[in-house]
Structure 1
Amino acid sequence: MSAATTPGRATPPPRTVPELLDWRTGLHPEQVAVEVHGVATLTFAQWSAGARAVAAALRHRGLRPGDRVGLLFGARDWTRFAVAYAGVLRVGAVAVPLSDRLAAGQLGYALRHCAATAVVHGDDTPAPAVPPGVATWTAGALLAGPATDPDPAGPRPDDLAQILYTSGTTGRPKGVAASHANLTVGAPTHPRRLALAHSQRFLHAFAIGTNAGQTMLLNALTARAAALTLPRFTPARFARLVEAPGTGTVFVVPSIAIELLDSGVLRGRDTGGVQLVGSTAAPLAPAVAARLAEAFPQATIVNYYTSTEAAPAQTTMIYDPSRRDAVGRPVGGQLMIADADANPLPAGATGDVWLRAPHPRAYYRDDVANRATFRDGWVRMGDVGRIDADGYLYLTDRHQDVIKTGAFKVSTIEVEAALHEHPLVAEAAVVGVAHPVLGSAVAAAVVPRTPADPGGLSLPVLRGFLADRLADYQLPSRLLLLDRLPRNEGGKVLKRQLTDLFDN
């Protein structure tokens, strides 16, 4: 077992999100906290005043501490979302961030599952169809009145603060509940310890309703830099903001990184001001990390490994060509490799990956799933991996993605990493498909760099390229060329959909 600690520094008492917002407002009232490029900016003073107004309006409408409130906003409304989120939490209710791109059935399921009392949505977002008894209000209507009534006692650190619905890549989404203490653990208590001090702004294009998006919202409270995002992502628009003065940090998911690199929009641009590029949400192929290092020569390239269930525990890996496949060492928690009964295994042994953080999360209203995933503060990540003698984590695969072909087990992560090294491959995903003799066979879905002209990509060509990189039983026996890979809002590949495409 390996753990990350901060020697010689006492752990501060847990805080609530409203307390954290009040602290930053007292320090930097006129500083921009959140900006949607070309649309809106939000200072800490505006954030705090807006949250108080929303809280007053919600109390006037009868909302009680502990009530669940869905927050349905699109990318243009990040500033209004931030205000509504903080207002819901200030009144002691529970925020349920949701994407405006959810289908009606997905939205209805989430609202019914958490027994939401109300939905707050953006003013430009049509009123959603909600289950009976669920009220709907626009953010503008809640902000229309002054915050005249006094604040109640407010939430406590151990109170439930938010519920995030997971991506559902392996089944129906689950609601992951987090307390205020979980969200604020590790937050600075001194103005000199604010994060991302090398930047005026940190740039991202993460969707509201994802764990990565919520991390950016909390970063806006704990970083010296302001959060900067786009009303709509395109590679060209994102690249212009990468180059803008003051953009010292860029956060991406692997699919965005690949799109930026392959689109050519970074060529000729001055990226020297960027000192940190962080990738999260899915494994970053070593070949893609190397290309990021080349495109951002002054930046440290960092891969973050966590999950909605485990946050804020994570491993971080600064790109190191000598440890191409490592995903880092633990930060903000503990890391363990264990056997099927959750007993710790020694360094070098392969087993289940577990992370542990203070004030752990849990599934909301799902005792069966909680027993399978959470144990004594530890979270089973659903991945297989090992820790080397220096404490670095190496992933083998997702449990459900490991391909059992004949007498062998094949890591899809390893095959995907090798495919990304081919100069004509933009994206790749590997799945197991049924085979009458072997049980399962390795199948690869590939997006060519130029989909209109795949450049001779074929199964024999790829197998020949991979022959010196992989064992024979790891070589794909089937190939599917696609214009794009199916992904969820968080950027993760929907492998069930890929399997269906091979079956059809």
Structure 2
Amino acid sequence: MQQSALDHRTDPAPAPRSSAQGSRTVHGLLDLRAAAQPDRTAISTDTGTRLTFADWRDRSVRAARALVARGVRPGDRVGLVFGLRDWPEFAVQYCAVTRAGAVAVPISDGRPAEAVGGLLEHCGASAVVAGAGASVPLGPWWIAAPAELAAEAAESGAAAVQLPEVAAADPAQVLYTSGTTGRPMGVLASHGNVVHGTRPLARHRPLAHSEEFLHAFAVGTNAGQTMLVNALDAHPAALVATRFTPGRFARLIEQRSVGSVFVVPAMAAELLGAGVQERHDLSSVRLFGSTAAALPPSVATALTAAFPNAVVVNYYTSTEAAPAQTAMVFDPSRPTALGLAARGAVMVAGPDGRPLPAGETGDVLLRSPGAQRAYYRDAEAGAAVFRSGWVRMGDVGYLDPDGYLHLVDRASDVIKSGAYKVSTLQVESVALEHPGVADVAVVGLPHPVLGTSVAAAVVPAAGTAFDPAALRSFLAERLAAHEIPSTIRTLDVLPRNEAGKPLKRAIRELLAT
């Protein structure tokens, strides 16, 4: 039956590998899914673009041959610069690159051209495939549009190009971190790491409660790469919102009866702030997943009311630690918990790297259940993060007596004010409980006596007359005196990166002026 489903194709693609072989590479997962469900939609966008598994496989095979014909060889790094509107084409080119034995380097076209060039230079890219409208600077790499590769693949003799064998241990991608606390770091992952935990031939696939899962994650983010693997492995098709606004996102949920939704906390707060639950039917959602940062308890509580039929899940991982993660269905009795280890293991360690007892605060580390990732071309920085199978997350936290992880703050964000240490996450979480606060970021500013003082950038809730004094009074009833911001500045919007994380360096500069 599988062979007949593929007989209609004109491109003489390689025969699908066995399940044991195919499940070990990213494009191998695609081969297996295309053989089993060729006409099923894999990815679609809110603009009407649709990609079936058969199309995804066939087009990736042809593009891979065009890449090899152009001289791409195993191990070469190939930049993939695409935007949200081009998600299906990005997926095609990603699998084309890995089929060619090369290493995919996904980069959002939302990054400035100079930043794109810096990443391409760092990874030593030999080639770039770019979507419509992407700005890629000239360099020692050649640049092609997907249509060019498709045309070259259609030329006589292209079908005879041989594609290399690719193994689980071979590198699949270099993914760059957001760079919120420093320069972006390239994180190298093998095929075995990227596909770890997938079950391509399972009778019951993940997210089986829905026919579509919705997201608006940029290419080049760890959350975006997770959505790519979901598209290959999960039951529902990926639905990409090509531009995130609360109303647009909620309309898609209502119109398409979306069953699974994935956001970052900032998106969740925007949905609630816009009151979309009052104007749209959100009852189809069974899973509301948040990732990239800790979900503030007040936001999580409000989500359970706005999405009455959904479980609200907070996922915690990093570009370096994936696929290790913790997961937590929001529990009002543990409002700050990020959950137990869902994949791999979690540990809170002291300065000597040894585990700390429950309740004691220290460095948070995750351990991957599969092959570990590594920093690309930066062994020195990697030595401080990757430790004997464990990955240092850069967060400070503790485990409660039941083993649930709780974050205190980013290690780099903890404010040392006089004799006290202040958790910015704690202050932000309490501030968000105030009805006049739609969004907030807390940072430390230089102080002549204390060393550092607490400052807050606040986005007022729509329709409210924000009063900093009223916010201070509100906080004074819930926080210690040293935690109350001495500086409060209102902004129309918080500067954030494409992963949805607040750019605290930029916020600190705004508040310092």
Q: How many angstroms does 1:341 deviate by?
A: 2.3
In the alignment, structure 1 residue 384 sits paired with structure 2 residue 396: yes
- Separation in 1 of the partners of 2:149 and 2:512? 50
Q: How many angstroms does 1:23 deviate by?
A: 1.0
Q: Residue 484 of structure 1 aligns to a residue in which SS?
A: coil
2:432 equivalent in structure 1: 420
Q: How many angstroms does 1:347 deviate by?
A: 1.8
- Separation in 1 of the partners of 2:162 and 2:421? 58
1:4 equivalent in structure 2: none
Check conservation: 2:277, 2:307, Cα contact below 8 A: no
Opposite residue 416 of structure 1, the aligned amino acid is E
1:225 equivalent in structure 2: 236
- What's the C-alpha RMSD, in Å, of the aligned pairs? 1.4
Check conservation: 1:32, 1:41, Cα contact below 8 A: yes
- Separation in 2 of the partners of 1:347 and 1:194? 35
Q: Output aligned runs, 1:388-403, within 5 Å.
A: 388-403=400-415
Q: How many angstroms does 1:151 deviate by?
A: 4.4
- Separation in 2 of the partners of 1:497 and 1:97? 25
1:23 equivalent in structure 2: 32
- Separation in 2 of the partners of 1:493 and 1:184? 30
In the alignment, structure 1 residue 325 sits paired with structure 2 residue 336: yes
Check conservation: 1:39, 1:76, Cα contact below 8 A: no
Q: How many angstroms does 1:355 deviate by?
A: 0.2
- Separation in 1 of the partners of 2:467 and 2:238? 40
The superposition leaves residues 314-360 of structure 1 with CA deviations (integer Å, 9 ceiling, x where unpaired) of 11111111000111111111101111121121222211000010211
Q: Give 1:365's match in structure 2, choosing from 365, 377, 388.
A: 377
In the alignment, structure 1 residue 208 sits paired with structure 2 residue 219: yes
In the alignment, structure 1 residue 170 sits paired with structure 2 residue 181: yes
- Separation in 2 of the partners of 1:362 and 1:343? 22
In the alignment, structure 1 residue 410 sits paired with structure 2 residue 417: no
Q: Give 2:318's match in structure 1, choosing from 291, 307, 311.
A: 307
Q: Output aligned runs, 1:86-97, within 5 Å.
A: 86-97=95-106
Q: How many angstroms does 1:487 deviate by?
A: 0.4
Q: Output aligned runs, 1:23-102, within 5 Å.
A: 23-102=32-111
1:149 equivalent in structure 2: 160
Q: How many angstroms does 1:235 deviate by?
A: 1.8
Q: Residue 191 of structure 1 aligns to a residue in which SS?
A: coil
Change (3 A) 1:327 1:126: closer
Paired residues, number: 488
Q: How many angstroms does 1:454 deviate by?
A: 4.6
Q: Residue 379 of structure 1 aligns to a residue in which SS?
A: strand
1:5 equivalent in structure 2: none
Q: Residue 323 of structure 1 aligns to a residue in which SS?
A: coil
- Separation in 2 of the partners of 1:236 and 1:503? 34
Check conservation: 2:68, 2:161, Cα contact below 8 A: no
Give % identity.
54
- TM-score normalized with structure 1 length: 0.94
In the alignment, structure 1 residue 199 sits paired with structure 2 residue 182: no
2:467 equivalent in structure 1: 457
1:444 equivalent in structure 2: 456
Q: Is there any run of 5+ residues in structure 1 with no aligned partner, and where?
A: 1-11
The superposition leaves residues 261-288 of structure 1 with CA deviations (integer Å, 9 ceiling, x where unpaired) of 1112331322111000000111211001
- Separation in 1 of the partners of 2:467 and 2:206? 44
- Separation in 1 of the partners of 2:283 and 2:246? 18
Q: Is there any run of 5+ residues in structure 2 with no aligned partner, and where?
A: 1-19
Change (3 A) 1:171 1:289: same
- Separation in 2 of the partners of 1:155 and 1:280? 31
Q: Output aligned runs, 1:254-293, within 5 Å.
A: 254-293=265-304
2:444 equivalent in structure 1: 432
Change (3 A) 1:289 1:126: closer
Q: Give 2:258's match in structure 1, choosing from 247, 256, 264.
A: 247
Check conservation: 1:447, 1:482, Cα contact below 8 A: yes
Q: Identify which of structures 1 and 2 has the higher relative contact order when contacts are C-alpha pairs closer than 8 Å and 6+ apart.
A: 1
Opposite residue 59 of structure 1, the aligned amino acid is V
The superposition leaves residues 215-259 of structure 1 with CA deviations (integer Å, 9 ceiling, x where unpaired) of 111110010000001222222211111113441000011111111
Check conservation: 2:69, 2:161, Cα contact below 8 A: no
The superposition leaves residues 61-80 of structure 1 with CA deviations (integer Å, 9 ceiling, x where unpaired) of 11100000000111111111
2:366 equivalent in structure 1: 355
